[in-house]
Structure 1
Amino acid sequence: MNAPAAYLKRMEERLPDFAAYAACLSLPPYKGIRVNTLKISAEEFAGISPFSLSPVPWEASGYYIAEEKPGRSAYHDAGLFYVQEPSAMCAAPLLDVRPGERVLDLCAAPGGKGTQLAQAMRGQGILVLNEKIPARAKILLQNVERMGIVNAVVTCADPETIAERFEGYFDKVLVDAPCSGEGMLRKEEEAAANWSPENVAMCAARQKKLLDSAARTVRAGGQLVYSTCTFAEEEDEENAAGFLARHPEFILIEQKKIYPHREKGEGHFAALFVREGESRCRLRPGKERAERQALSAFSAFADAFLKERPAGRAISFGESLCAVPEDLFSLDGLRVLRAGLALGSVRGGRFEPAHALALAAPGYFREKADYTQEEISRYLHGEEMPCMLRGWCAVSVDGFPVGLGKAVGGVLKNHYPKGLRR
C-alpha cells in the first residue's frame, strides 16, 4: 500500500507509536463478517460456516475471516451474514438499541451499521435508514431485503429534510459520516489516492452539518452516536468537541478509537452522546391503509401459501402492498424507497409475492423448495429447477430461503430478481 507522503508525515507527528503503525500498513487488511441473528444464531452459524471464524471482541455476532470473497457463498444470498470490516462493528453497539425503539441511521448506505441496529431491534419498533444518494439508497434497500428486515423505512432524503420532519422523534440516532477514509488505506487504493489535507477539511465541515441535523432528531434522554473510519482529529475528536460546544443539551458519554496496529481492525472512531433537557415531537402515526382489492388478493394468497401473516398494518405503497409497524408515521412528502416489508402486488387480478417476503425473518412461506449449495447456484443464475411442490414457495439452500419460485408440473419457475442473478 502506497500511502501519500504528506499523510505519513502527518501521522508521524501525531502518533507516538508511529513506527508500529507504519509497519502495519504493509500487512493484509482485516476482514470480517457479522452473522445475521434475525435468521440464525451465531453459534448455529459457526456450525455450518464455510469459513474459519475468530470472534470480534466488540460485537457478539462478528467474526474475523481469512477468505477473500465471502459474498460468493449462497449463505450470503440467504442473508445469513453481512460482510463488514471488523472495526466498523464497534459503533452500533454503543447505542444499546432495544426492541420497540425508534431508531435512525442518517447516512445508512450500504447498510452495515443499519442492519446491525435492526438485529438488536428484533423486528420491533421503527428503524429509519436514510441515504441521500439515490444509487446508494438502492443498494441499501437490497441489503435490507436480503437480511430479512421487516420494520425499516428506507428513505432517500437530504439530512436537513430528515431533521425538519423528525424533530425530537428518535430514541437512538447513528451518524456514520462520510469521511477521508484513513482507516481504509490498506483496504482500498482509492482512499490513498483521494487523501489530502484539503479533503480532510472538507469532510470535517460536512460532518458538522450532518451532526447538527442529527441533533434535532434526538428526543430528550435519547442517544446519538457519531462515527467515522478515519484517524484525523479534525473529523473525530475535534468534531465531537465542536458538537458539544454548539449543542450544550448533549453530554459526551464515551469515545472509542481503533488503530490497526493496536487492535484487530482497519480503523474507526465512535463517540456516544446523550441529550438532556426537553424536546418536542409533533409527528403522529400515519393513516395510510391498503386498497381493498390488493388486501383481498393478498388474503387469498396468504391462506394458500403462508404459514402465518406478517404483523403490522397493511398499506398500499405505489403498486405494492406493504406491512408496516402499526404506529408508523405518515409517509406523505417523504421520498421513501420502501416502507416495512414488501408483501407483493396484484397482477392480472392475482397476487404476486415480493422477493422480500421470501427472505423476511423469521420466514412466512408454508413450503420450501430446498437445494444444496451446488444446486442452488443454478437457481441464483436464473435457471428453472426440478420441484414436486405446487404453487408459490420459498426457494432455500440448506433450509435458508434465498428467493421465490412457483412450482408447476414438476418444474420450479424462477422468480429470482434479474438484477441479482449471478
Structure 2
Amino acid sequence: MNEYLRRMRLQLPDFEKYEQCLSQPPYKGIRANTLKIGAQELKKLLPFALDGVPWESDGFYVTQEKPGKTPYHDAGLYYVQEPSAMCAAPLLDVRPGERVLDLCSAPGGKGTQLAQKMQGQGILVLNEKIPDRARILLQNVERMGVANAVVTCADPEALAQRFAGYFDKILVDAPCSGEGMLRKEAAAAENWSVQNVEMCAARQKKILACAVKMLAGGGKLVYSTCTFSEEEDERNVEWLLHEFPFLKLEESRKIYPHRERGEGHFAALFSRDEGERARLRPAAAAAEKRLQTLWKDFSAAFLKQTLPGRLISFGKGLSLVPEELFTLDGLKVLRAGLLLGEDAGGRFEPAHALALGAPRDALASKAELSEEEVQRYLRGEELPSKGGKGWCAVCYNGYPLGLAKDGVALKNHYPKGLRIK
C-alpha cells in the first residue's frame, strides 16, 4: 500500500484529504428500476431515507446497513449500486429502439441501468465472459424485469467477429485494479500492485479494441473503470485516440471519494465518425406449434393482454423476443428476451421470469401476501390458499415477487436458488 499511496500523492494536490477519507465508511446507494416504478414512488415505499445522486436521476444515497433486505428489492423495484458507478451509463444517452452492448456486464448494475433508458425497445446485449458471473448477471436481469436483453457468455474477440459495426452504443466497464473500491472491498487493497495495474491496462486495451470494432458509424462508446491509475484511465484514453483516429473524445469525468459522494470511478465518452451500420441475419427459429398452443391457452387465463414481441423456441422453453432479434446460431446465449415457460408433459409451466418481466397491470391472476407471508414465501414455504385456482403471480403491495400455484394450498414455486435462509 505504500507504493499505492506514493502514486496517489503524485496524482492528487489534495492528497491529505484523500488519505484521511480512506478511514471513513464507504458510500452506499440504490437505483430505482423505472421499468417497474418511478423514482419518487419508490422513495415513498421504502422504510429508509433516500438522498438523490447528482449524476443519475433515478439514483439515491442510502445509509441503511443492508438496503437490499426488503421485499421490494426481491421484486426488482431497485438495484443496490455504489453511487459513483451510476455515472457511466448516463453518458451514453441510450434511447429506445437502439442497439446497445454492455461488453463486461456482470453483475448487471450498469446493464440494467441501460435497460431502463431503452424502455423495453431495441436490442440490448449483456455479455460476461466468466460463466459464474454470467449466471449472476442473468439473475439480476430477470429480477429487474428486462425483457429485451440477450445475455451472452463470450470472449470479446468472438463477439467482435460476429457484431462488427453493429451497435449504436457500447459500454465497456472493464475489469480493473479496483483502486476506487479500497474502502468497500478488502480484496482490492490486498491484490493491489503495480504489476496488476499494468496487467489490467494491457487487458483493457484488448477489450477496447474489440469494442471499437463493434461500434457502428456515428455510434458512441463509454469506457469506464472503478480505479484511479493513470495507466488504466487517461493513458488508455490517449491510446484509443491514437489507435483509432476516427474516434473523438466528447467528455470524461473522474470521481474521488474526498471530493464527491462516491467511492471512485472514471468514465470517458467517445463518438465515432459517421459510417455504415451493419445488418445481421434475423433470428429464424419460430416457436414450436405445440408450445404456441400451450402458451395461448395458459396466457388467456394468466394475462389480461398480449405481450409485444415474437415467440421463439429457446432450448426447451418458449421466449418472447424483440421483433428485430438477430440469429443466435453460434453464440453462447444464456437468455434471449423474456423466458415465458416450457412444456411440462402437455401442460404449460410458466417461468419465474414471466412474473417479474410482464407488466404488472397485464397480470390477471394474482395472490397478494402480507409482510409475514412474504418472508415465508421467500423461504420457499407453502402458504394457505388465497381462494384461487391454478397459477398466479405472488405479490407484495401489488408488485410481483414470483409464482405460486393456488388450490387446496398456495404451492410455492419461488426458485430454490433464490430462497432466503
Normalised by the length of structure 2, the TM-score is 0.98
1:284-331 Cα shifts (integer Å, max 9, x gaps): 322111011111100000112111232111000010100000110000
In the alignment, which residue of structure 1 is the partner of 2:56? 59
In the alignment, which residue of structure 1 is the partner of 2:396? 397
Secondary structure in 2 matching 1:38? coil
Q: 1:385 aligns with which of 360, 363, 383?
A: 383
Please report how far the alpha carbon of residue 391 of structure 1 lies from its aligned counterpart in structure 2 after TM superposition. 1.1
Q: 1:413 aligns with which of 380, 389, 411?
A: 411
In the alignment, which residue of structure 2 is the partner of 1:323? 320
Question: Do the aligned residues in 2 keep the contact of 1:174 with 1:225 (CA within 8 Å)?
Answer: yes
In the alignment, which residue of structure 1 is the partner of 2:11? 14
* Structure 1 residue runs without a partner (length 5+): none
In the alignment, which residue of structure 1 is the partner of 2:228? 231
Q: 1:136 aligns with which of 119, 133, 139?
A: 133
Please report how far the alpha carbon of residue 278 of structure 1 lies from its aligned counterpart in structure 2 after TM superposition. 2.2
Question: Do the aligned residues in 1 keep the contact of 2:75 with 2:143 (CA within 8 Å)?
Answer: yes
In the aligned structure 2, how far is the partner of 1:138 from the partner of 1:309?
A: 29
* Structure 2 residue runs without a partner (length 5+): none
In the alignment, which residue of structure 2 is the partner of 1:272? 269
In the aligned structure 1, how far is the partner of 2:227 from the partner of 2:302?
A: 49
In the aligned structure 2, how far is the partner of 1:397 from the partner of 1:372?
A: 7
Question: Do the aligned residues in 2 keep the contact of 1:149 with 1:361 (CA within 8 Å)?
Answer: no
Secondary structure in 2 matching 1:202? helix
In the alignment, which residue of structure 1 is the partner of 2:101? 104
Please tell me the residue identity of whatever aligns with 2:379.
H
Residue 372 in structure 1 maps to residue 370 in structure 2: yes
Question: Do the aligned residues in 2 keep the contact of 1:182 with 1:232 (CA within 8 Å)?
Answer: yes
In the aligned structure 1, how far is the partner of 2:3 from the partner of 2:313?
A: 55
Please report how far the alpha carbon of residue 280 of structure 1 lies from its aligned counterpart in structure 2 after TM superposition. 5.1
In the aligned structure 1, how far is the partner of 2:304 from the partner of 2:4?
A: 58
Secondary structure in 1 matching 2:251? strand
In the aligned structure 1, how far is the partner of 2:301 from the partner of 2:45?
A: 32
In the alignment, which residue of structure 2 is the partner of 1:250? 247
In the alignment, which residue of structure 2 is the partner of 1:68? 65
In the aligned structure 2, how far is the partner of 1:80 from the partner of 1:280?
A: 35
Q: 2:340 aligns with which of 318, 343, 346?
A: 343
Please tell me the residue identity of whatever aligns with 1:56.
V
Please tell me the residue identity of whatever aligns with 1:421.
R
Question: Do the aligned residues in 2 keep the contact of 1:128 with 1:152 (CA within 8 Å)?
Answer: yes
Moved over 6 A (4+): none
Q: Over aligned residue pairs, what C-alpha RMSD do you find?
A: 0.9
Q: Which moved more, 1:368-377 or 1:118-127?
A: 368-377
Distance 1:42 1:277, change over 3 A: closer
In the aligned structure 2, how far is the partner of 1:145 from the partner of 1:280?
A: 30
In the aligned structure 2, how far is the partner of 1:306 from the partner of 1:280?
A: 38
Question: Do the aligned residues in 1 keep the contact of 2:307 with 2:358 (CA within 8 Å)?
Answer: no
Question: Do the aligned residues in 1 keep the contact of 2:301 with 2:365 (CA within 8 Å)?
Answer: no
Q: 2:114 aligns with which of 109, 112, 117?
A: 117
Normalised by the length of structure 1, the TM-score is 0.98
Please tell me the residue identity of whatever aligns with 1:375.
E
In the aligned structure 1, how far is the partner of 2:61 from the partner of 2:359?
A: 26
In the aligned structure 2, how far is the partner of 1:145 from the partner of 1:131?
A: 15
Please report how far the alpha carbon of residue 118 of structure 1 lies from its aligned counterpart in structure 2 after TM superposition. 0.2
Question: Do the aligned residues in 2 keep the contact of 1:257 with 1:267 (CA within 8 Å)?
Answer: yes
